[in-house]
Chains A and B, each alone.
Chain A
Amino acid sequence: MSLGSITERAPRTGPSTAKWVGGTIVALLLWGLVYSQLVPFSQWVVSLAPIDPKSHLGEALSFFVYDTPKVLMLLTLVVFGMGVVRSFFSPEKTRALLAGKREGAGNVLAAGLGVLTPFCSCSAVPMFIGFVSAGVPLGVTFSFLISAPMVNEVALGLLFGLVGWKVALTYLGFGLFVAITAGWVIGRLHLENWLEEWVRNIRASAAELPPEDVTAVDRIKTGIEAVREIVGKVWPWIIAGIAIGALIHGYVPSDLLASIMGQGAWWSVPAAVLIGIPMYSNAAGIIPVVQALLAKGAALGTVLAFMMSVIALSVPEMIILRKVLSLKLIAVFVGVVGTGILGVGLLFNLLFN
Chain B
Amino acid sequence: MKDVKVLGPGCKRCVATAEMVQAEADRLGVPVTIEKVTDYAAIAGYGIASTPGVVVDGKVVHAGGLPKPEHLATWLGA
In the bound complex, how far is the Cα of B11 from the Cα of A126, in angstroms? 12
Residues of B near A208 (CB, < 8 A) are 60
For the complex, is B45 an interface residue (Cβ under 8 Å from A)? yes
Q: A91-B49, A127-B49 are in contact. Are A207 and B9 (CB under 8 A)?
A: no
**Is the beta-carbon distance between B51 and A204 smaller than 8 angstroms?**
no
What are the interface flags for A200-220 relative to B under an 8 Å C-beta threshold, 1 for contact and 0 otherwise?
A: 001011111110000000100
Please report which residues of chain A, range 197-252, place their CB below 8 angstroms from some CB of chain B when the two chains form the complex.
198, 202, 204-210, 218
Residues of B near A90 (CB, < 8 A) are 50, 63-64
Min CB distance B44 to A, Å, is: 4
**Is the beta-carbon distance between B9 and A92 smaller than 8 angstroms?**
no
For the complex, is A24 an interface residue (Cβ under 8 Å from B)? no
For the complex, is B30 an interface residue (Cβ under 8 Å from A)? no
A-B interface pairs (CB < 8 A), number: 85
For the complex, is B41 an interface residue (Cβ under 8 Å from A)? yes
**Is the beta-carbon distance between B9 and A130 smaller than 8 angstroms?**
no
What are the interface flags for A124-149 relative to B under an 8 Å C-beta threshold, 1 for contact and 0 otherwise?
A: 01110111011000000000000000
In the complex, which of the residues A125, A202, A218 contacts B9, with contact meaning CB atoms closer than 8 Å? A125
What are the interface flags for A29-69 relative to B under an 8 Å C-beta threshold, 1 for contact and 0 otherwise?
A: 00000000000000000000000000000000000000000
In the bound complex, how far is the Cα of B61 from the Cα of A92, in angstroms? 13
**Is the beta-carbon distance between A202 and B44 smaller than 8 angstroms?**
yes
Q: A207-B46, A209-B60 are in contact. Are A123 and B41 (CB under 8 A)?
A: no
In the bound complex, how far is the Cα of B46 from the Cα of A209, in angstroms? 11
In the bound complex, how far is the Cα of B61 from the Cα of A126, in angstroms? 17
For the complex, is A188 an interface residue (Cβ under 8 Å from B)? no
Residues of B near A129 (CB, < 8 A) are 40-41, 43-44
For the complex, is B29 an interface residue (Cβ under 8 Å from A)? no
* B10 nearest in chain A by CB position: A122
Residues of B near A209 (CB, < 8 A) are 48, 60-63
User: Which residues of chain B have a CB within 8 Å of any CB of chain A?
Assistant: 7-11, 13-14, 40-41, 43-51, 53, 60-64, 68
User: Which residues of chain A have a CB within 8 Å of any CB of chain B?
Assistant: 90-92, 94-95, 118-120, 122-123, 125-127, 129-131, 133-134, 198, 202, 204-210, 218, 323-324
The 3 closest A-B pairs by CB, nearest first: A130-B49, A122-B11, A207-B47
A-B contact pairs, 23 of them (CB 8 A): A90-B63, A92-B50, A92-B63, A118-B64, A122-B9, A122-B13, A123-B49, A123-B51, A125-B40, A126-B7, A126-B43, A126-B49, A127-B49, A130-B47, A131-B49, A134-B47, A204-B46, A204-B47, A205-B47, A207-B48, A209-B60, A209-B62, A323-B40
